Amino acid sequence: MKTIIITGSGGLIGGEAVKFWQEKGYNIAGIDNDMRAYFFGKEASTGKNVDNYKNTLRNYQHFQVDVRDIAQLQTIFRQYNGEIAAVIHTAAQPSHDWAAREPLTDFSINANGTLNMLEMAKQYAFDAPFIFTSTNKVYGDTPNKLPLVELDTRWEIDKSHSYYENGIDESMSLDNSKHSIFGASKVAADIMVQEYGKYFGMKTVVFRGGCLTGPTHCGAELHGFLAYLVHCAVTKKEYRIFGYKGKQVRDNIHSHDLINAFWHFFNKPGQGEVYNMGGSRHSNISMLEAIDKLETLLGYRMNYTLLEEARIGDHIWYISDVKKFQRDYPEWKYEYNSDRILEEMTATECEKQKNY
């Protein structure tokens, strides 16, 4: 049976990939050492997700391995040598706030860990698609230099700008901006994944994600805006908004829609490709707008505080232009918008709280 190697298999995107490819009949080799609990505390642990996959998925084998440990990675790749159909690399340190605390840890996971995975794929699975989840933070704070207009509930780009209709495309420069330490480590990984495709001829792809979300997201204050917002709304915990009057805009893509994009690339891979991938104009929302929708869904007011100081390098307005991917894969379609995402996540969180 052909095998899909998935790093970060207990996380939001890795977990969605596990379930998706398992249902397609593939064997899954999941790599996850629950660093998320170290980053954000036990509430953000992916341990329960991994236990669930081990107990319920017939073709799932788990490896409690750190992507920084190339010797252990080599053991895994050797085990499946000749059977590897794809490598899906989603493991990462995902927070720009956290990265500033431990830059060495952040870079070693995001950059060196990605290089380790690329080398293993080159040696043991050269012809297999290599799918990597990057981030819009590779553009640094350049989006904040766009001509933005303050509206009642959100920031918006000026209608005369070329990005107004579809959002930010892949032509935006990565240079001369403040990336955050996290953004810089992801730039290194992003470029390296492209290079292994363009230099060595591997079937690599970079998906620069907007806000990736879904009901299995273990949100924390420092990462996972929508998941953590929903958690605070349901549990009536105070939510803190950092700067921009709560009008900052994010485009949210459901993990299912992203994995479906992975599937399309898997079936028709390119070499060294890069795509902006988020909710686009189809699915985007400001913090104030999300709070308003949650209050309507739950029937009570949220407890939140507006702070004046914004996070360093945080985007005021970011909407992904996904037209390049849609051009290359015209059969790919969204199944979720912001309303459906919020409804599903709220229902899931309410059910989870009942079981606590």
Rounded distance between C-alpha atoms, residue 1 and residue 84, angstroms? 9
CATH superfamily of 3-354: NAD(P)-binding Rossmann-like Domain (3.40.50.720)
Model confidence at 356, pLDDT cuts 50, 70, 90, reads: low
5-14: average pLDDT: 96
Q: What 3-state class would DSSP assign to 336?
A: coil
What is the structure's pLDDT at 216? 81
Strands 204-209 and 130-135: parallel
When comparing pLDDT for 42 and 72, which is higher?
A: 72
pLDDT greater than 90 at residue 308: yes
Average pLDDT score over the chain = 95
pLDDT higher than 70, residue 321: yes
pLDDT at 221 over 90: no
Strand order in the sheet with 273-277: 60-63, 27-31, 3-7, 84-89, 130-135, 204-209, 273-277
| CA neighbours closer than 13 Å in the CB half-sphere of residue 239 | 27
The confidence score (pLDDT) of residue 46 equals: 87
Q: 117 Cβ partners below 8 Å, 6+ apart?
A: 7, 67, 73, 87, 89, 130
